[in-house]
Structure 1
Amino acid sequence: MTSSCAVAPEAPEPQSAPMTVAVPEAEYDTGSPTGDAPADQEPGETSLTEAHPAELPRASSTSLEPVGTISEPAMSPKSVVANDHGLAIANNMMYHNSVTVYDTRTGDLIQELPGSVSPSSFGLEGYPDTVQGAPVEATWTADGEYAYVSQYRLAGLGAAAYDDCRNGSAVAPSAVFRYSVQEEGWDQFIEVGRVPKAQALTPDESRLLVTNWCDFDLSVIETATGVEERRVPLSSQPRGIAVMPDNRTAYVAAMYANELWKVDLDTGSAEVIHRGAELPRHLVLSPESDVLYVTFSRSDLLLAFDTSTDEVIHTADTGREARTMDISADGTALYVVNYFEDTVSKFDAGTLEEIDRRSTGHRPIGVTYDASTGSVWVANYSGSITVFDDTALR
């Protein structure tokens, strides 16, 4: 059976031709009850991190409508993540070593930023003057001002990094870079483990959690200092993370061990709560955090768990090789990309009934729902982003 991950990081394929994207605009609150611009904002100007959407229809009642494809600048997006305030960040791995930031209302490129930093500028010693990362995944702060971006490896440090972790401890620990919208650049360098992938902030944003793929563990970072407070041992190739409202309980997928773990962040204790389906990859919680959704890549499954009991309550078949997943802002719809099928599926979050399936670009690997527009963005590893409007009633 085909594995969900190549031995080496999957290389992107030739990109498609560029196409202008114009996401249908919602009405935006300019920050004043009268509609006047705030005192520090020019008339007619809308702050990307302060925009608020008009009321959107229930996501489970709408259908995905293709809007367009973004393929410039050159990219190989492993993920795309919206901040729900008008921006989306795409992370282009070592193949382009960049992040690209877009206006989700127009599809326009806001910034292309190399994945390189000077650790000494953040007070860190023992590194070259400049280190080059490989942006993998991102998570935004709730205000949309900062994005934490994991770096698959730091070029030139230690042995080569691969998804099968063949070089073991000879691979150097890597880092998370923090992107600042205001500064339009990296403003923090956070040391983590080997081959970091998924990340999540606790709801109070006091901790950043990072899965270290080749260390088989979880880094718990204090966001106020950027310092790791503990490591939690897990199992083979941990990936997806979801954090409960208590800021203490996290669920983590150990992908190659076929295990779902429950972690106490305060004590560092952890237990396996589910085994069975193969290659658990991505986790999301319902808005009330009463349901945990998990994709299983090799089993082509989507499972829903009751978080009060950790028991499975719903199961659905996905397309071939389900990868990343996101949930609509109202919690009524789930979006799952099917990597080997070049499609994105939409499910009713309450029943797991599949209500839509649409073609994407080649090798869809990341997906995000943008609450500011009701649009869905799909990262195609072959070199493009497919954008859908999800506001039209079925």
Structure 2
Amino acid sequence: MTQTDLIQRAQQGEAEAIAALMNVALEKIGATAKAAMQDQWLHIVLEADKPLNPEACIEFVGTGIEQLGIDDLAAFVLYGRLIGQEQPDWIRQVELFNPEFEEDDDLTNFRAFTADEPLDTSLSRSADGWGDASNRDRQAAKERHQGVLGVASENGVKDYSQQSEEDNPTLAGPTLEYESLAAYVASRSPHLSTPQETVRHTPVLSAPTLVGDPPAKLPRKRRKKKRLPRRLLLLAVPLVMTVGIWQIWQRYFVADPTVGGGGSNPAMNGAASVTQDVFQVAVNHATRAVDLGRTANSKDEWQAAATAWEQAIAGMEQVPKAHPKYAIAQQRVTQYQKELQSVRDAHLTRIKPVRILMGEIMPKSITHDGQGRFYVANGGDTHTITVFNRNLQRTRTISDRVRLSQFGFSQFTGAPQGEPIDTAIAPQGGVWFSNQQVQKAGEKPIPINDCRPEQKHPAGFLYHLRRGGRVDGVAQVGAAPRVIATTPNGRYVLASNWCSWDVSIVNAQTRKEVRRVQVGPYPADIAIDPKSQTAYVAISGATRIAAINLETFEVRWLENVGRSPLYLSLSPDAQFLFATLKGENKLAKIKLAQPTEITYVDTEKTPQGVTLTPDGAFAYVANSGANSISKVRTRDMQVIERVPVKPFPIDLVYDSTTQRLWVACASGHVVVLQDAK
């Protein structure tokens, strides 16, 4: 459907088209519109999460109706409603017929263009004024403007012109500042946010701007139209929910069509009465994406277009099966995803594959020492730590075989092996790694996936490696140590013990455990603040994160962060904690000064490792269940790029020197990616 088609439908009184035009402007203030027509009366519901000012809404709707010049419209009824409520907060009726109203009356402070007014071709005038060009010049300008504008169908398929504003100055000509009407509503409704600035553009499906030839229904000459003067606002009548109004409300704006009269509206019926605009709002997002893509030049502008496509996709995915356009919505999801990927591939893709490292590795984690050495802990039967350099070369393979009797653990004979799981860089030099499932001679590994403290699993060990790769220290910790972390001041090394449901705090100098802190089921990743005061521990068997005071060893909790928090990363300023939520397929951004203030973004299936760029501007998430990496812009928590990798990515690190991302995949690979940010 073209722009002109939509406007023609609105001028003919089609309620769905009228609501679609309103929603483009209302989106900027977080409000939405639904509409239904009955007996030459237009019924409009305006919804927001905060109360709307009735008088401002009347002026907003009235001005739009005046611009459209809808024939045979006797009145409109406005319903103001809070999102989530069934009944309206207020109702206003406005009569439109006013034969004594003169054409030259002051209608509104907002400048608008109508179909029978010429386009301004005078470049010496501002876009808000009218030029003095001849009718011939005006018509030629209109045709050129129509030619370069391009159109978008209802499904958002682009039809770009080869011309630009530089080639044809009329492309930047008169536009409709209909968004200022929405800003006016917001300004009169103090609970709503007012847009910071008015963006001048010529929308595709937008407030009623008529570009090109007027619809055939309108004569070429100027004609008097039904208009809403300012003084007519005094005639707006507050209504109570009378029987007639109640029946209309139940018929068109509640989910059950059998309540209060049981009729149906071709545009809104059955179970779709409440959700009808879900489809249309998604279409509006797609149309906005096309509009943004038509004028985008910078990366930020293309990112705005991509975000609009993402919103369109999310909207179509929310259309329920009972909706009459459900099948179309499913097709649109696929189509919009292709459009989004096209934008990303052509204008936003920054992450490129460099190399895939493999061979005798089974990564469980990866750590970077900041000096160009990357340590990969290999689980399973490999029993090794593999070291790579920035040149993508394997420089060392370290066995986990250690004669524990030499470090005071005489119950172990020979050089038993275990399963290296994680590594951590020691500030004073060297590397720690955790080794779970260390068995005595003749013992077999015990399954630990669903382990519990009462099962008495054997203790695990932390090994300290000197720079040359030789183990020079061992510390015994709880059962099945998974993740380890060192404090920036070098005082402690911490281990989250999967099977004993606690955290071991080890003196890094004496290699002795000084405290065991109970935290709950399946503690996972650990993040420590730069001042070495607090250690945050993800409790993957719950919905909370432990915050351990490293002076008193007392625990406070970050509650209700989401299901199964698994991996953590602190922002460089330590104001925000990022957590992957395995149980919800999300990344959470927690404001530590106000832990209940949490922002979420959907990643992909089974997010695990997360790491930040040094400036904290971007987060990378390893999606183990989707075999992909998500790049998240942290300021607004938007996924801006997704990149496929080898199966089961579980951990990753970012090297700021080379701007490369190293991804550890449990399939036996380390994938190295280049990202220029």
Superposed pair shares fold, TM > 0.5: yes
Corresponding residue for 1:146? 430
Q: Does 1:86 align with 2:385?
A: no
TM-superposed CA distance for 1:162, in Å, is 1.3
CA apart distance, 1:255? 0.5
The residue correspondences of 1:1-394 to structure 2 (distance < 5 A) are 63-72=350-359, 74-103=360-389, 105-142=390-427, 145-156=429-440, 160-165=446-451, 168-181=454-467, 183-275=468-560, 277-391=562-676
TM-score normalised to the size of structure 1? 0.79
| Secondary structure of the corresponding residue to residue 192 of structure 1 | strand
Cα-to-partner distance string for 1:158-203 (whole Å, 9 max, x where unaligned): 861412116844321010112222x222222111110101111112
| C-alpha contact 2:564 2:583 (8 A) present in aligned 1 | yes
Kept in 2: contact 1:179–1:186 (CA 8 A): yes
168 and 158 in structure 1: CA distance in 2 versus 1, 3 angstrom threshold: farther
Judge conservation of contact 1:140–1:148 (CA < 8 Å) in 2: yes
SS class of match (2:584) = coil
Name the CA shift for 1:320/1:114 in 2 (closer, same or farther; >3 Å): same
Q: Secondary structure at the residue paired with 1:132? A: coil
| 8 Å CA contact retained: 2:452, 2:500 | no
**In 2, distance between residues paired with 1:161 and 1:97?**
17
Q: Tell me, yes or no, if the aligned pair for 2:545 and 2:561 is still in contact at 8 Å.
A: no
Q: Kindly provide the CA deviation profile for residues 43-83 of structure 1, in whole angstroms up to 9, marking residues without a partner as x.
A: xxxxxxxxxxxxxxxxxx982211010012x1110111111
**Alignment partners' CA distance in 2, 1:88 and 1:307:** 30
Query: In the alignment, is the contact (CA less than 8 A) between 2:357 and 2:669 conserved in 1?
Result: yes
C-alpha distance in structure 2 between counterparts of 1:344 and 1:224, whole Å: 37
Q: Which residue of 1 aligns with 2:146?
A: none
* In 1, Cα distance between equivalents of 2:534 and 2:371: 27
Instruction: Give 3-state SS (helix, strand or coil) of 2:459's partner.
Output: coil
- Kept after mapping to 1: 8 A contact 2:453/2:500: no
Give distance in 2, aligned partners of 1:202 and 1:113: 24
Q: Give me the whole-angstrom Cα distance separating, in 1, the residues matched to 2:470 and 2:671.
A: 25
RMSD: 1.9
- Give the counterpart letter for 1:154 in structure 2: V
Does the CA contact (< 8 Å) of 1:93 and 1:152 recur in 2? no
Alignment-mate amino acid for residue 64 of structure 1: I
What stretches of structure 2 of length at least 5 have no aligned partner? 1-347
- Identify which of structures 1 and 2 has the higher relative contact order when contacts are C-alpha pairs closer than 8 Å and 6+ apart: 1
Deviation >4 Å, runs of 4+? none
Distance (Å, rounded) in 2 between the aligned partners of 1:187 and 1:64: 40
Equivalence for 1:38:
none
Instruction: Flag the 1:208–1:83 CA change in 2: closer, same or farther, 3 A.
Output: same
User: Quick check: which one's strand share is greater?
Assistant: 1
Q: So what's the TM-score if we normalise by structure 2?
A: 0.47
Whether the 8 Å contact between 1:158 and 1:172 is mirrored in structure 2 is no
Distance change (3 Å), C-alpha of 1:305 and 1:326: same
3-state SS of the aligned residue for 2:616?
A: coil
**What secondary structure, in the 3-state scheme, does the structure 2 residue paired with 1:120 have?**
helix
For the residues of structure 2 that align with 1:131 and 1:115, how far apart are their CA atoms? Answer: 8
* Shift in alpha-carbon separation, 1:86–1:130, aligned structure 2, 3 A: same
Partner amino acid for 1:153? Answer: Q
Partner amino acid for 2:364?
K
> Larger Cα Rg: Structure 1 or Structure 2?
2
Inter-partner Cα distance in structure 2 for 1:266 and 1:276: 25
Deviation at 1:358, TM superposition (A): 0.6
| Letter of the structure 2 residue corresponding to residue 84 of structure 1 | G
Verify the 8 A CA contact 2:453 2:499 in the aligned structure 1. no
Structure 1 CA distance for aligned equivalents of residues 494 and 502 of structure 2:
10
TM-superposed deviation, 1:155:
2.9
Question: Structure 1 CA distance, aligned partners of 2:449 and 2:397?
Answer: 26
Asked if 2 retains the 8 angstrom alpha-carbon contact of 1:337 and 1:343, the reply is yes
SS of 2:479 mapped into structure 1: coil
Tell me if the contact between 1:291 and 1:307 (Cα under 8 Å) persists in the aligned partners.
yes
Q: Deviations over 1:199-222 (max 9, x none)?
A: 111121101111111111111111
Partner of 2:130: none
Determine the structure 2 residue equivalent to 1:49: none
Q: In structure 2, what is the Cα distance between the partners aligned to 1:208 and 1:337?
A: 25
Deviates more, 1:246-255 or 1:161-170: 161-170
The 8 Å contact of residues 158 and 171 in structure 1, kept in 2 or not, is answered as no
Deviations 1:248-268 (A, max 9, x none): 212111111222112122222
CA distance in 2, matches of 1:264, 1:232: 11
2:202 counterpart residue number:
none
Inter-partner Cα distance in structure 2 for 1:323 and 1:102 = 22
User: How far apart are the structure 1 equivalents of 2:555 and 2:437?
Assistant: 26
Count the aligned residue pairs: 328
Q: For 1:286 and 1:99, how far apart are their aligned partners in 2? A: 28
- The answer to whether the 8 A contact 2:646-2:669 is kept is yes
Deviation digits for residues 292-325 of structure 1, max 9, x if unmatched? 1111012001111111222334211111100011
Query: Gaps spanning 5+ residues in structure 1: where?
Result: 1-60
Query: How far, CA to CA, are the matches of 1:84 and 1:231 in structure 2?
Result: 30
